Structure 1
Amino acid sequence: MTDAQIGLMTATPLIVIFAIMLYRMGVLRLTGTLAAVALSVAIAGALFFTQ
Structure 2
Amino acid sequence: MPESAALRHRKTTQIAIVGLNDPWAERKLKICVRSLKDLPPFARELVDRLMAGV
Q: Which structure has the greater CA radius of gyration? A: 2
Shared fold by TM > 0.5? no
Q: Which structure shows the higher helix fraction?
A: 1
- TM-score under structure 2 length normalisation: 0.33
